[in-house]
Amino acid sequence: MTRSSIPKTPELKTRLRITCGREIALGPGKIELLALLVETESLSEAARRMNMSYMRAWLLVKAMEKCFRDPVVMATRGGKSGGGMKVTESGRRVLALYQEMDAAALESIAAPWRRLQKLLRT
């Protein structure tokens, strides 16, 4: 990395991961996918916006489904406008709770982060 490619404003990004055995139940990518599914109600569109294949997005959904008691998404069958995928009420709770935990994690490390920022090049 050259000096010119070092970011001018350091950023702090949390990466919470929730595992069930060897399976990652939730992490930043799966949360982004759920959020896009809420917005688009389409797995193919959510995958496209994340620059991933439909198959990869489907595998992420299947991994989440294995880890939670209740379905987090529900596929809808075709029709005039084609099929889709909706986030269930349980999935919306999962999404909200993860986002709440992520915000709490950031808040809890804010003071040491400010001290660390002073040690970084800007």
Q: Which domains does the chain show, CATH number per domain?
A: 18-117 (1.10.10.10)
pLDDT class of 13 with cuts at 50, 70, 90:
confident
What is the torsional sign of CA 16, 36, 46, 25?
A: positive
Q: What is the pLDDT of residues 97-116, one digit of tens each?
A: 999 999 999 999 999 999 99
Q: What is the pLDDT of residues 58-95, one digit of tens each?
A: 999 999 999 999 999 999 876 566 679 999 999 999 99
pTM of the shown model: 0.84
pLDDT at 51: 98
pLDDT score of 36 more than 70:
yes
Mark residue 64 as left, alpha or beta (left: phi above 0; alpha: psi -120 to 50; beta: remaining).
Answer: alpha
Dig out the tokens for 117 from the structure. 């920022």
